[in-house]
Amino acid sequence: MAPCQKLVFQAQARFPPGRLSQLKRKAKFGPSPSGRAGQSLCLRQRRPPVGAAAARPAPEGRGWPEGTSSSSGQRDGTRPQPRHRTTGLSVKAPMEMWSTSSTERFYKIPEGKGPHSVGCTDLMTEDAVEGSFLRLYYPAYDATDIEEARWIPDKEYYQGLSDFLNMYRVVGERLFHYYVGSVTCPAKSNAAFKPGEKYPLIVFSHGLGAFRTIYSAICIEMASQGFIVAAVEHRDESASATYYCKRRSVSESQEESTPNMEKEWIYYRKLKTGEEERCLRHKQVQQRAQECIKALNLILKINSGEEVMNVLHSDFDWNSLKDSVDTSRIAVMGHSFGGATVIESLSKEIRFRCGIALDVWMLPVGDDIYQNSVQQPLLFINSEKFQWAENILKIKKLISNDTNKKMITIKGSVHQSFPDFTFVSGGIIARFFKLKGEIDPNEAIDISNHASLAFLQKHLSLKKDFDQWDSLVDGIGPNVIPGTNIDTSPAEPE
């Protein structure tokens, strides 16, 4: 029996009847039925997408399908009748064959395709929750003698993911450790920064239930193309897990073998019974935007030559970043809840010259944002299978008639076509957690990255060759369409 099958059967033995079938559908970093369906402040009715998208379960606020445990811990097996139609898109390349071999655990995150080698390092300021925490991806000197960075660096992240997916920690930890415990991202840990030019800066915001390291395919590609990318880890209790370092008490630190700092872990906060999701998410997105702005200020402080204390004590030379950031070319980017964070950040900080929202979840966005609060250019890159009518209508309202705001859809893609899990899962796990769409994951991420680079070149006034992908921004090309596949026309009277 393959090891992966053994783990699944062991998991089956630990769960009550029907529980494992719920887990099969619970592995997305996106919104809940309440978060997806109702966009008003007080949410009562759940309404899934329909048509082509109705053939699959509708995601919940944490990305679970309808009919499983909701974010408040309740179950709802009913499905309202469809009211809107989505159009299925034909993918022009065949779907990759699903492997059932135990070697599927060795799938890799793709390397950057640009001219620069990529390094990464972690930065945490202050011994308090109010400090900044981010992973920095950057152009680096070639360093064959330096190891690649661990993709998920602490076992507590496995625990957080298990909690987020409503799995027993002992089962989740073992599954995650077996399948991704040895995975590295193709960026050299603490490699020497490559100076000599001023690089534009991207601040990246992760999705609900995610954390700073699991969008490395996107961040590494941007760094390989000549960007510095600051991937923020949010402490608003929307990450599966995060932490800050706090000083031990005097009595504890007096022991010779005890370091004077310890990690204080913060795990994902589930909705309380009866709690309105939009109220919580709107509060969180405001904190997230402030954390993105704080990360921006931190990188610019380092760029100016100011000394910054990194409580993580890495070997990276932060002084090497002095005068290496192009302070006039700064963008913000994010996925799902991170896409909402992009919109909120643009409305609050004019130094962000443009933004890119990947498969955005619009529920957290405040009503005031639609009143011309976002003046900067904005690109929405959607998956085919995630979006629904009410969310698309919110996007269109924000776009209005602004030609600098664009929306495209990648054919055959799913919400998980953007995080790294789509690359490190083979057939069994991908089917189990619905991590892959009909399009090859590498092609989907290439379309997203190329469209992003073309958009950034135009609106950051870069002198690169990214304009070769300008057509993608207009939704022209293989496996991409302009706008959306979702029918947003009013429902016919019943």
160-186 pLDDT per residue, tens: 999 999 999 999 999 899 989 999 999
Which of 49, 16, 160, 44 is CA-nearest to residue 386?
A: 49
Residues 6+ apart with CB under 8 A from 206: 29, 212, 214, 215, 231, 232, 233, 234, 239, 334, 335, 337, 338
| 362 vs 9, higher pLDDT | 362
Q: How far is CA 396 from CA 178, 353, 362, 379, in A?
A: 43, 20, 11, 12
Q: Judge whether 450 counts as a catalytic residue.
A: no
Q: pLDDT value at position 413? A: 96
Percent with pLDDT over 90 in the chain = 67
Residue 63: band (very low, low, confident or very high) from pLDDT cuts 50, 70, 90:
very low
pLDDT (tens digit per residue) in 82-120: 444 444 676 664 433 333 333 344 579 999 999 999 999
Q: Judge whether 415 counts as a catalytic residue.
A: yes
Among candidate residues 163, 359, 420, 446, the one labeled active-site is 359
Among candidate residues 117, 189, 216, 336, the one labeled active-site is 336
Q: pLDDT value at position 246? A: 87
Q: pLDDT value at position 144? A: 86
Backbone angles phi, psi at 328, to 5 degrees: -95, 0
As a whole number, the mean pLDDT across the chain is 83
Sign of CA dihedral 456, 29, 155, 256: positive
Rounded Cα distance, 213 and 154, in Å? 11
Q: Is the pLDDT of residue 76 over 70?
A: no
pLDDT (tens digit per residue) in 248-277: 765 555 555 556 789 999 999 999 999 999
**Average pLDDT rounded to a whole number, residues 199-213:** 98
Q: Judge whether 336 counts as a catalytic residue.
A: yes
Which of 421, 403, 402, 410 is CA-nearest to residue 478?
A: 410
Rounded Cα distance, 218 and 223, in Å? 9
**140-149, 216-225, 453-462: which has the minimum mean pLDDT?**
140-149
pLDDT (tens digit per residue) in 467-482: 999 999 999 999 999 9
Among candidate residues 84, 206, 234, 415, the one labeled active-site is 415
Task: Tell me the DSSP string of 213-230.
Answer: TTTHHHHHHHHHTT-EEE
